[in-house]
Amino acid sequence: DGGITQSPKYLFRKEGQNVTLSCEQNLNHDAMYWYRQDPGQGLRLIYYSQIVNDFQKGDIAEGYSVSREKKESFPLTVTSAQKNPTAFYLCASSIGLAPSTDTQYFGPGTRLTVL
């Protein structure tokens, strides 16, 4: 069963703690993305990766970090430097031929609440 998995679905953390959100895909896609979605708003790009061992900052990268050691995995760490981390985090992937035209496939998302 091909797709993108994100875990956990809900995550609670105390303020000041780093937290890592997982994203795994078995679609054999080269490109992967992390978005943040706040209530009633669109998707804002945090980081993206077009190939293993390479990634680029998106529009709101401050307070976040990523790694891309394997093609299938693109974990996102929300650091204590992120001032307002409570949000819905969506991971996506695409075939990677042309990121501005590729169809993106989204995971189910992780809803992070920082107390």
Partner 1 sequence: GQQVMQIPQYQHVQEGEDFTTYCNSSTTLSNIQWYKQRPGGHPVFLIQLVKSGEVKKQKRLTFQFGEAKKNSSLHITATQTTDVGTYFCAGPGFSSGSARQLTFGSGTQLTVLP
Binding region for partner 1 (CB under 8 A): 33, 35, 40-43, 45, 48, 50, 56-59, 61, 90, 92, 99-109
How far is residue 41's CA from residue 43's CA, in Å, rounded to a whole number? Answer: 7
Closest contact distance (angstroms) between CB of 45 and partner 1 is: 5
Residue bearing tokens 């996102």: 76
- What Rg value do the Cα atoms of the chain yield, rounded? 13
3-state DSSP call for residue 1?
Answer: coil
Q: How far is the CB of 73 from partner 1 (least distance, A)?
A: 18
Residue with Cβ nearer partner 1 (10 or 14): 10
At its nearest, how many Å lie between partner 1 and the CB of residue 115? 21
Q: Which is nearer to partner 1, 15 or 43 (CB)?
A: 43
Neighbours of 82 (CB within 10 A): 21
